[in-house]
């Protein structure tokens, strides 16, 4: 695992966008693993700008998102389907038919998770997986636990995640209590992983991910075992490293 120190959010976003654009320039058929949250928004905006200028293209890429809330339809403004269209898919030349996000509105979420996992496996897993990190060290929606989850599964969100994500909802009561998330094994099967972190509230999680014990209590710590994982963190997020 390598740690790249960025000056600030803009610098982190540009560094990440540089790596992703190099990937799609070298390998136009790239399978991208994508993440939501505030952290990757600047990276998506930078990529959209470069794509408009003709510097890179996503026309031949496909994508698989990490997670989605259970119970939100894909047109719900807080759904990750909606987020991805707003901040990336609608801004670049990717074919929307080649983008995939777990179906939070599925009648049987557990079966939908299994189906999603089969689809990601059949595609051959992402060439490059983009990740953010939760304040408690979660990746995707893999919350601290006493074991590492394998495939895509239904997760009960922790109070800390519900509270952290409530800023995007009208009230904390509107935040779904469950989500669907790629498991740790699915994430670890990506050929390259890029983790982004920004801000002082991520400093402890970044420290524990990079230097801490490998433990399911800090799900991101398992990334230390990945053969090609780069963390790009800004000064505030690196302040304990
Ligand atoms: C959510 C998402 C994660 C994301 C994390 C951090 O819980 N499921 O994929 O990495 O929050 O979000 P943010 O980037 O907004 O801090």
| Residue that is written with structure tokens 């970044």 in the block | 206
Distance of CA 173 from the midpoint of ligand 1 (Å): 18
| Residue 128 in contact with ligand 1 by CB distance below 6 A | no
| Residue that is written with structure tokens 């599964």 in the block | 153
Could you tell me which residues come within 8 angstroms of residue 167 by beta carbon, excluding any fewer than 6 positions away? none
Strand 178-181 and strand 2-6: pairing?
Answer: unpaired
CB of 19 closer than 8 Å to CB of 193: no
Q: What is the pTM of this model?
A: 0.96
| Mean pLDDT for the stretch of residues 54-80 | 96
Q: What's the chain's length in residues?
A: 241
Pocket probe for ligand 1: among 39, 43, 154, 168, the residue whose CB has the most ligand atoms within 8 Å is 39
Atom of ligand 1 nearest to the CA of 202: 16
Atom of ligand 1 nearest to the CA of 132: 10
Supply 187's token pair: 């994430």
Residue pLDDT, tens place only, 214-238: 999 999 999 999 999 999 999 999 9
Scanning the chain, the segments in alpha helix (DSSP H) are: 9-26, 41-52, 80-87, 109-123, 159-165, 184-188, 203-211
CB of 51 closer than 8 Å to CB of 93: yes
Supply 190's token pair: 């990506």
Q: Decide: helix, strand or coil at residue 81.
A: helix
Q: Decide: helix, strand or coil at residue 67.
A: strand
pLDDT of residue 145: 94
Percent of the chain scoring above 90 in pLDDT: 96
Quote the mean pLDDT of the chain. Answer: 96
Which domains, ranges and CATH numbers included, belong to the chain? Answer: 2-234 (3.40.50.1360)
Supply the Cα-derived Rg of the chain in whole angstroms.
Answer: 16
| Residue 63 in contact with ligand 1 by CB distance below 6 A | no
List the end-to-end C-alpha distance of the chain, in Å, as a whole number. 14
- What DSSP string describes 164-183? HHGGGSSSGGGS-SEEEE--
Pocket probe for ligand 1: among 16, 34, 36, the residue whose CB has the most ligand atoms within 8 Å is 36
Pocket probe for ligand 1: among 37, 180, 206, the residue whose CB has the most ligand atoms within 8 Å is 37
Residue pLDDT, tens place only, 26-45: 999 999 999 999 999 999 99
Atom of ligand 1 nearest to the CA of 199: 16
| Residue 197 in contact with ligand 1 by CB distance below 6 A | no
Q: Decide: helix, strand or coil at residue 153.
A: strand
Report DSSP state, residue 83.
Answer: H
Residue pLDDT, tens place only, 166-218: 988 999 999 999 999 999 999 999 999 999 999 999 999 999 999 999 999 99
Cα(189)–Cα(208) distance, rounded to whole angstroms?
Answer: 22
| Residue 84 in contact with ligand 1 by CB distance below 6 A | no
């Amino acid at each position: 695992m390598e740690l790249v120190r960025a000056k600030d959010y803009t610098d982190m976003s540009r560094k990440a966008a540089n790596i992703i654009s190099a990937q799609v320039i070298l390998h136009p058929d790239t399978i991208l693993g994508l993440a939501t949250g505030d952290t990757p928004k600047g990276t998506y905006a930078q990529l959209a700008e470069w794509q408009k200028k003709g510097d890179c293209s996503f026309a031949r890429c496909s994508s698989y998102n990490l997670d989605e809330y259970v119970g939100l339809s894909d047109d719900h403004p807080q759904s990750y389907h909606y987020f991805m269209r707003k901040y990336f898919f609608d801004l670049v030349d990717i074919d929307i038919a080649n983008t995939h996000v777990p179906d939070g509105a599925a009648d049987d979420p557990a079966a939908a998770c299994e189906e999603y996992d089969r689809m990601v496996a059949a595609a051959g897993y992402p060439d490059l997986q983009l990740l953010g990190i939760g304040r408690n060290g979660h990746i995707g929606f893999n919350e601290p636990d006493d074991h590492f989850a394998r495939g895509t599964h239904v997760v009960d969100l922790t109070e800390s995640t519900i509270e952290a994500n409530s800023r995007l909802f009208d009230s904390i009561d509107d935040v779904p209590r469950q989500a669907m998330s790629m498991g740790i094994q699915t994430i670890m099967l990506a050929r390259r992983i890029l983790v982004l972190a920004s801000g002082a509230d991520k400093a402890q999680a970044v420290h524990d991910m990079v230097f801490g014990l490998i433990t399911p209590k800090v799900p991101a710590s398992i990334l230390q075992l990945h053969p090609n994982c780069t963390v790009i963190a800004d000064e505030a997020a690196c302040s304990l490293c």
